[in-house]
Structure 1
Amino acid sequence: MDTKVRDDVVQFIISNYLFGDTGRVPADGDSLMEGGVIDSTGILELIEFLESHFGIEVSESETVPQNLDTIANLTQFVTAKKTVEELSA
C-alpha cells in the first residue's frame, strides 16, 4: 500500500468530513458511506480531490464502492491509476 497516498486521503477525510476529529477516522477497511463519514455529495468532492491532488482522471464507470468506499480501496485505486497513467505517459 502506498503510504503517502493513504496519508493524503486520510488527511483529506479528516479535514473535510470529520472536521479535524482524528478520533473518528475509520479503519482502512471500514465503509465510509455505511459509517456515515461521507454521503453522495461527499463522493463528488472526494473525486474532485483525487483528480486534482493526484493528477488522475476518475471515469464514471470507476465511481463504485470497490474503488471509493474505504480508505484501503481508495489507496489501492489511486496507486493503480497513477501507475497506469505514468506507464502510458
Structure 2
Amino acid sequence: MTLILALDRCKEQIRSFLASNFYISDTAKLNDDDSLLDQGIIDSTGVLEVVGFIEANFGIAVDDSEILPENLDSIQGMAHYIVRKMSSTADA
C-alpha cells in the first residue's frame, strides 16, 4: 500500500471516529491540520479516548512518551503517527 493511500485511509477513519465521539459543528470545515485542542474538539480526557481508538483500531501501542501534540493534535498528525508507527512495527 502506498504511503498516500495509507494516510488517506487513516484520515478517513480518524475523521469518522472524531465525528461520532466528539462534538464537531461542521466536519466539512475541519481541516486535516487544524489543532483539535485549540478548536475545543478534544481535551485531555479526549486525548486518552483518541489513544484508545488508535490502539484498538490500528493494533499499535501508544507509548506515554508519544502522547505529544505533534502526534495527536490534528487529523494529519495522527495519520502520520499511525503510518509511521505501523511501518516501524512491520519492519521489526
Which aligned runs of 4 or more in structure 1 are off by greater than 2 angstroms?
A: none
TM-score, normalisation: structure 2 = 0.87
Following the alignment from structure 1 to structure 2, what is the Cα–Cα distance between the partners of residues 54 and 17? 20
* Deviation string, structure 1 residues 13-70 (Cα, Å, up to 9, x no partner): 0000027x5x245211110000000010000010001001000010000001010001
Paired residue total: 86
Following the alignment from structure 2 to structure 1, what is the Cα–Cα distance between the partners of residues 55 and 10? 13
Look up the equivalent residue of 2:73 and give its one-letter code.
Answer: D
RMSD between aligned residues? 1.3
Aligned counterpart, 1:10: 15
Following the alignment from structure 1 to structure 2, what is the Cα–Cα distance between the partners of residues 71 and 24? 12
Structure 2: state its 5+ residue gaps.
none
Match of 1:37 among 41, 50, 60: 41
Structure 1: state its 5+ residue gaps.
none
TM-score, normalisation: structure 1 = 0.90
Work out the percentage of aligned pairs sharing the same amino acid: 34
Following the alignment from structure 1 to structure 2, what is the Cα–Cα distance between the partners of residues 3 and 61? 25
